[in-house]
Structures are given as structure tokens and as C-alpha cells.
Amino acid sequence: MVTGTRRGRRGASTLGCLFAVLLFMAVLYYGVDIGRVYWSYYRLRDEMETSARFAQTQPDEQIIKHLIGIAQDLSLPAEAQRFRIRRTEHPPIVTIRTKYSVDLDLPFKRKRITLTPVVEVRQ
């Protein structure tokens, strides 16, 4: 009689463990895709900020060419390569911006996220 109770518990714990593993795998599967999108966003934004810091020594065309190469290396969509640079003299500020959208495959639906990286550096 005691062994029957143990078997029931063992089966329930195995089912609970299997459910936890499946849940972990689903979070990992979708989390990697979402993480990749935001990792690319922050890498691009970091490069934009570095370019803005050294903008005094480089023309806009050179900065844009560098950032386009970074966007291509990160496999971002073509629309992400449309960088806009704005320089003001009083106060001396360099602003770099772009805008792009990516599609995420989530459970039971596809979601489009629009990302707008903008950096503004005072010279």
C-alpha cells in the first residue's frame, strides 16, 4: 500500500520535472531571439556614441560609412543604414539617429518592433 503511494508521487514529480524542462526550453528558444535583437541594438548604439564623440575629427560621410559597415556586420535591415547626423555649434552637440523595424516570432504570433537608436554627445 505504501509502495503504490510512492509510485504515484514519483510519476507526478516526473511530470512536473518534464513540464519545468519544457517551459525552460521555450523561454530559452524565444529569449535567444529577443536577446539577439536587443544585443544588436545596444552594440549599434554604442558605436553611434563612439562615432559622435570623435565627430570633430571626421566628416559626416566617413562616420556614416563606418556605421553602415557596423549595421551590416550586425545583420540589421537595410533601413537601419539610413543614419542622420546633426551638428549644432551653440552649444556644440552631435546627434546621430536611425530607425528600423525587426520581426520577432513569439508563441502564436509575429510581432514587429520598431527601434530608434539616438545618441547625443556634447563636444
What pTM does this model have?
0.78
Per-residue model confidence as pLDDT tens digits over 94-122: 999 999 999 988 778 889 999 999 999 99
pLDDT in tens, 9-45: 566 677 778 888 888 887 787 778 888 999 999 999 9
Following DSSP, what letter does each residue of the chain receive, concatenated?
-HHHHHHHHHHHHHHHHHHHHHHHHHHHHHHHHHHHHHHHHHHHHHHHHHHHHTGGGS-HHHHHHHHHHHHHHTT--GGGG--EEEEETTTTEEEEE--EEEEEEETTEEEEEEE--EEEEE-
Which has the closest alpha carbon to 40: 95, 97, 100, 83?
100
- At 38-95, the pLDDT tens digits run 999 999 999 999 999 999 999 999 999 999 999 999 999 999 999 999 999 989 999 9
The alpha carbons of the chain give a radius of gyration, in whole angstroms, of 24
103 Cβ partners below 8 Å, 6+ apart? 110, 111, 112, 113
